[in-house]
Chains A and B, each alone.
Chain A
Amino acid sequence: MSKLVLIIKREFIAKVRNKSFIVMTFLSPLLFVGIGVFVGFLSSMKADLKTIAVHDESGLFVNEFKSDEEYKYLNLSNVPMSVLKDSIVSEAYEGILFVPKSTDNLVLQKNMQFISNESPGVMFIEDLENTISDKITQDNYIKSGLDTLAIEKANADVSIQLEKASGEESLKGLNEIKIGIGGAFGYLIMMFIVIYGNMVMRSVIEEKTSRIIEVIISSVKPFQLMMGKIIGTSLAGILQFLIWALLGLTAITILSSVFGAQVGAGANAQVMQTAQQEMAGNMQMYLKEILNLPIFTILISFIIYFIGGYFLYSSFYASIGAAVDNETDSQQFLLPIIMPLILGVYIGFFTVMNDPHGTIATVFSMIPLTSPIVMMMRIPFGVPWWQIAISITILFASFFGVVWFASKIYRVGILMYGKKPTWKELLKWLRY
C-alpha cells in the first residue's frame, strides 16, 4: 500500500473516531432542528393584546379602526385628553391617538398625535397612517364631488411580467431564489474550509508538539504527510456532510408523509381549495424555474470549487500549523486567511445580488481566494462557460503554487521549535 494511502487512512480514522466528531455529527443536526423549532415556537406565540385609546374630536375616524388580535381600539372621544393622559399608565394603554376637532382635512393631516410612553412599532404607525390617509382621501373625493366608485375602477394595478429573450417566462423573486441557492453553496464551501482547515492545522500542531513529526518524516516526505493529512481530513468532513444529508432526507420524507396526509384531509373546504390551487399554480411555476436553473452546472462546479477551494486554503492552514508551536500563536497568521473568505461572502451577497455580471463580481469570481464562493453565487444567474473555465484554471494553477509554497514552509516549520516566527522568517524559510 502506498504511504500516502496509509497516511490518509490514519488521518481519516483518527478524525472519525474522535469523540467530538461523533458528537458534532449527530448533535448539530438536532441542535439545528431544535433552534428552528424554538424560533418557530417564539414567532407563533400570540403577542399581548395592546389597547389603543382613540380620542377623535372630529368624529371622522371613529369607525375606521378595527380591533384585531393584537390591537384593541377604544373609542374614548368623550373622555377629556387630560384625563386620558393621566390614566395612560393606570389603564395600561399602549398609546392615545389624538385627532383634533376640525372639519378641514388639511388641518387634520397636520395635527394628528400619538401619545405613548414607549416608542410604538414602526409597522403599527405605518398602518395607522395608511388607515387615516385612506379615510381622508375618501373624504376629499366626496367633498370635491368625485365619483368614488369610478375612481376605484380607474385605479390601475400593474404587474410587469419578466421574460427572457429566449421566450421563457420568468417570475419575480427568482433572483432571491438564485442568490439563495448560490449563497447556500458558497456559504457551505466557506464553512467547510474554516472548520476542516482548522482541523488540519490542529492536527499538524499536535504532531509537532508531540514530537512524532521527526519519526514520521524520516519515513515519508513532508509533502506526502501534508497531502495525506489534508485529504484524510476532508474525507472525514465529506462523511459528516453525507450523514447530515442522509439525516435531512430521512427527516423530510417522514415530515412530508405526515403533513401531506393532513393537508389532504383539510383540503375539502371549497375556499381552501381555490386558494390552494392558486398557491400550487405559483409554486409549480417557481419549481419549474428552479428546475430550469443550470442544476448540473451548479452541482459539478460546486464539487470542483469545493475541492479546489478546500485544498488551496487547507494548504495554508497546514503551513501555519507547521510554523507555530501552539494554537494561540496561530491567530496572527489566520487573519489574512479568513479575510478573503469573508470578503467573498460579502461580495456574493451584496454585489452579485445587484449585478451578477458586473465588473466587481466577475473579477472576484476569477481571483482564486474568493472565486469558490463568488463564482458559486454567480452560476445560478447564468455564467458563460468560458468564464467558469478560466476561473477554475486559475484556481487550480494557484492551488499548485500554494501547495508548493505551503509545503516549503511546512517542511522547515515542523522542525522548528521555540520562538514564534515572524512573516519575514516565513519568507526566509522558502529559500532553505
Chain B
Amino acid sequence: MSAILEVQNVVKTYGDYTALNQVSLTIPKGSIYGLLGPNGAGKTSLIRIINQITMPDSGLVLLDGKPLQPNDVQYIGYMPEERGLYKSMKVGEQCLYLAQLKGLSKQEAQKQLKYWFERLEIEGWWNKKIQELSKGMAQKIQFVVTVLHQPKLLILDEPFSGFDPVNANLIKDEIIELNKQGTSVIFSTHRMESVEEMCDHIALIHKSNKLIEGKLTDVKKQFRTNSFEVGILTDNVEGLMYDLTQKFTLSQTDFKSLNDELKLEIQLGTATPNELLHVLVQRGQVTHFMEKIPSVNDIFIQSVTE
C-alpha cells in the first residue's frame, strides 16, 4: 500500500521552543489515521505544516510521493479544532467562496454544494446567515465546506466536538463513507473510543517526538502483556489457586457475566495459553477465556506516563 502522505524528519521551532523534533510519519492511502497525543504535544503544529499554513524549519512533507506544492491545498480538506465561519455572510455564498478559494470553479462548487445540502437535508439554510444558526448547524456547514472540493486527504481535528450524539453519528458515517470511496483521513482526537472504532492506523506524539506509529493491530500486539481474563466455576478454589500460583501471576479482575464464577486476570509470562487452559480444565468449568488486549486508551496513558 503506497502512502498518501509522508512526513520526513520534520523539525519546527518557535523561538527556543521545539514544537516538532525530527518527526516522521507515513499515512497509507485509504487509511483512517489517528493522530494522538496529549495537549501541547505538537499535533496542531504538524497539521499546520501539512496544510502549508506554516513551513517546517527542516524536513520534508510528501503528498502522493511528491513534495508539497502551493497548489496541493486543493487536494486537502482541513477542519481545524477551532471552527469558524464568517458570521454575517450567508451560508450559500460563504460555501461558494470557500470552495472557490480551494480552486473549484463556481459551477463545480454549486454542483457539489447542491449534493451535500441535499444529502445532509439542509437545503433551507442557503440564505441564512451563520449567526442565525445554532452551533451544531454551523458545524455541519463547516463539515460541508471541508469536504466540498473532494479532497484526497481529509484532516479532521476533533471532528465530533460540538455535535450532539445524533449529528456526531451522522458525521461519523459520512467520514466512513468518504473513506470507502478512497479518501484518506487523518483524525486528531482525544476521544479514544472513536479512535478504537474508526482508525486502522495510529501515531502517538508526545513532547514534540513521535513515540508510536503503525497499524492499530500491530501497535496492540506490541503492547500486549500476554495476560488472559479467565472465568471459572469450581468447587475447589484453594486447589485451583495453588495450581495457578505455581506457574502464573494472578490478580482479581471483573467483567460482565451471567454466572457467579471466579474472575481472574492471569499473567502468562513465558507459558502458552494452552498450558493455562490445561490447568484450568482440570479444576473446573471454564466460562470465560479471553486475551486481555490493550485499549488505545491504555496504550496512550502507558506511553505518555512512562
Contact = CB atoms under 8 A, between A and B. Distances in A.
B100 A215 contact: no
Contact of B84 (A7, A210, A221, A428): A210
Contacts, number: 63
B82 interface: yes
A213 interface: yes
Interface string A156-179: 000000000000000000000000
B80 A220 contact: no
Contacts of B84: 207, 210-215
Nearest to B74: A219
24 contacts: A1-B100, A7-B101, A10-B97, A14-B86, A14-B88, A14-B89, A207-B84, A207-B86, A210-B84, A210-B85, A211-B84, A212-B84, A212-B86, A213-B84, A214-B53, A214-B80, A215-B79, A215-B84, A216-B101, A218-B51, A218-B52, A218-B73, A219-B102, A432-B14
Contacts of A428: 15
Contact of B76 (A3, A10, A218, A221): A218
A72 B20 CA distance: 90
B97 A212 contact: no
What 3 A-B pairs are tightest by C-beta distance, nearest first?
A211-B84, A212-B84, A219-B101
A219 B71 CA distance: 9
A10 B76 CA distance: 23
A211 B83 contact: yes
Nearest to B142: A215
Interface residues of B, number: 28
A14 B97 CA distance: 12
A237 B84 CA distance: 27
Given A6-B100, A14-B89, A415 B53 contact: yes
A3 to B, nearest CB: 6
Contact of A215 (B15, B54, B78): B78
A386 to B, nearest CB: 41
A217 interface: yes
Contacts of A221: 70
B168 to A, nearest CB: 20
Contacts of A216: 98, 101
Interface of A: 1, 3, 6-7, 10, 14, 206-207, 210-221, 415, 428, 431-432
Contact of A211 (B52, B82, B100): B82
Contacts of B102: 219
Contacts of A220: 73, 101
Interface of B: 14-15, 48, 51-54, 70, 73, 76, 78-80, 82-89, 97-98, 100-102, 142, 145
Contacts of B48: 415
A214 B82 contact: yes
B14 to A, nearest CB: 6
Contacts of B53: 214, 217-218, 415
Contacts of B142: 215
B135 to A, nearest CB: 13
A218 B78 contact: yes
A210 B78 contact: no
Contacts of A207: 84, 86
Nearest to B149: A219
Contacts of B78: 214-215, 218
A207 B101 CA distance: 16
A216 B100 CA distance: 11
A215 B98 CA distance: 8
Contacts of B145: 215
A71 B258 CA distance: 115
A14 B101 CA distance: 16
Contacts of B85: 210, 212, 215
Contacts of A217: 53
A415 B80 CA distance: 12
A217 B82 CA distance: 14
A217 B51 CA distance: 9
A212 B131 CA distance: 13
B86 A210 contact: yes
A190 to B, nearest CB: 29
Contacts of A1: 100
Contacts of B97: 6, 10
